[in-house]
Structure 1
């Protein structure tokens, strides 16, 4: 049977699928819109199965903060190519997943999140919504991970989320303490940018495992000896290098502030009053989850 352009347009508007996919689905369904929608959904599941082994090294990080500023969420959504990562449908999916992460409100609840009713299509759950977007893009899409952070109950604080302009890195900071809201917002945002730029692994130097520090000390001591320094001198050189080149790199509070390297993040917090970083998260496309 002949399928009218108006019917194809209606199906495209409802599903976001491509012209030929809609035309073929309508032809297979004999012009029945409901059956055509099911065909397109099944196509998404087929693509998900066929491309299950494809690598997903591209994607976006998306994030948001709750209306009261006390809870934040980040999501890491992957796909196969940069072309799809820039696709509006893919980015809308990432933004919707952030809202579901905020609603779930806890880490480690991926299964519960995937079973939630989709906001953009209440007839399906989130897992099926991801399949539908796979059907539209023709690529494997993987909801890699998500993170939720919140101000501890009973404490004054704020959550800030920062997404780098390329959407490949996202950070989240929980700042607590007693300061005026504007000071807290500004400082939390600057620290979130710092984390995006510097990628710290620990909050404080005390969190660095002793075996990691010892390994770094041995490496730097041997390097100093290789440079011709006596063993007793090499020990002191190694400690200085580990403090400056390693601890300042991996511990957030020891890092020089990216805008003014004469002060550390820890010093900035102390200067602002009774403030502390309670928690931070950094997600990056291409980094192990």
Structure 2
């Protein structure tokens, strides 16, 4: 079979692996992306956990909190060209819509809500299509509610995060942790909420890798146990090395600055 350049590029974007290896992986998996990722992992390629659930194409994102820092939202609008997504008018639209998003619990509810002059958000977007001459879709709507919420939008409007805390804490500390979430892309808060489905897949990869090299079951089990521990430490927010000081973890940083505040949840979206 043949694989297209677009399929190779998609796999490369997801894994960070070279073009030739991506091509061979797709050939060996008959073009199936998930099986190709599994093939590359079996070969021992270092690949980040697949978190493409929230990835989108051209467009922009913005994260906002309300005036009391009790609600946080991330909204994202998709468009056809990167040129439009960087325009002042497009960014203004994102900003304007985000100011109203706090009051709604779902994307559907928000799209149908009255926004301006008895026009719904959906109608506003349709009118903007006529002005921008490009298709627009509000494809991202993430919301958290907590005693204290902080938001972060990267300056290219392609990456955004929100973090919910159990109580109010110093704004700078909360912002630094929210920036860490954006930069380090954790899978869960701690080992307690680490997705079992992800862990199961990764254990399968570790077993495939080590069965090829070690005959002793005890040694294999010991190595796999160590890899699982490392996997969890590197991908859980509280256990990750803090992005601004690799000598401490995020848990250390939080407790040094706010002993009684805990992280309740977070959202991170990459466009």
Cα displacement string for residues 85-141 of structure 1 (whole angstroms, at most 9, x for unaligned residues) = 11222222211221121133x2x2x3332233334xx25321111011111111110
CA RMSD of superposed structures (Å):
2.1
Counterpart of 1:98?
98
Counterpart of 2:79?
79
Q: Give 3-state SS (helix, strand or coil) of 2:62's partner.
A: strand
Contact kept in structure 2, 1:76 and 1:284, CA below 8 Å: no
Contact kept in structure 1, 2:160 and 2:270, CA below 8 Å: yes
Moved over 6 A (4+): none
Name which of 250, 253, 268 aligns with 2:238: 253
Counterpart of 2:252?
267
Contact kept in structure 2, 1:198 and 1:249, CA below 8 Å: no
Counterpart of 1:17?
none
Name which of 132, 135, 140 aligns with 1:140: 135
Counterpart of 1:128?
123
CA distance in 1, matches of 2:173, 2:82: 33
Structure 2 residue 159 is the aligned partner of structure 1 residue 169: yes
Between 141-150 and 208-217, the greater mean CA deviation after superposition: 208-217
TM-score by length of 1: 0.68
Which stretches in structure 2 are left out of the alignment for 5+ residues?
1-55
Contact kept in structure 1, 2:78 and 2:139, CA below 8 Å: yes
CA distance in 2, matches of 1:229, 1:265: 38
Return the offset for 1:251. 1.7
Q: Give 3-state SS (helix, strand or coil) of 1:72's partner.
A: strand
Which stretches in structure 1 are left out of the alignment for 5+ residues?
1-55, 152-156
TM-score by length of 2: 0.72
Contact kept in structure 1, 2:61 and 2:158, CA below 8 Å: yes
CA distance in 1, matches of 2:75, 2:86: 16
Q: 1:115 to 1:239 in 2, by over 3 A?
A: same
* Count of matched residue pairs: 215
Contact kept in structure 1, 2:148 and 2:167, CA below 8 Å: no
Q: Give 3-state SS (helix, strand or coil) of 2:166's partner.
A: strand
Name which of 160, 182, 203 aligns with 2:150: 160
Contact kept in structure 2, 1:90 and 1:133, CA below 8 Å: no
Contact kept in structure 2, 1:217 and 1:238, CA below 8 Å: yes
Counterpart of 1:67?
67
Return the offset for 1:60. 0.7
Q: Give 3-state SS (helix, strand or coil) of 2:179's partner.
A: helix
CA distance in 2, matches of 1:84, 1:209: 37
Q: 1:264 to 1:238 in 2, by over 3 A?
A: same
Structure 2 residue 192 is the aligned partner of structure 1 residue 206: yes
CA distance in 2, matches of 1:213, 1:116: 40
Q: 1:229 to 1:269 in 2, by over 3 A?
A: farther
Q: Give 3-state SS (helix, strand or coil) of 1:75's partner.
A: strand
CA distance in 2, matches of 1:103, 1:210: 33
Q: Give 3-state SS (helix, strand or coil) of 1:69's partner.
A: coil
Counterpart of 2:220?
234
Return the offset for 1:263. 1.9
Counterpart of 1:149?
144
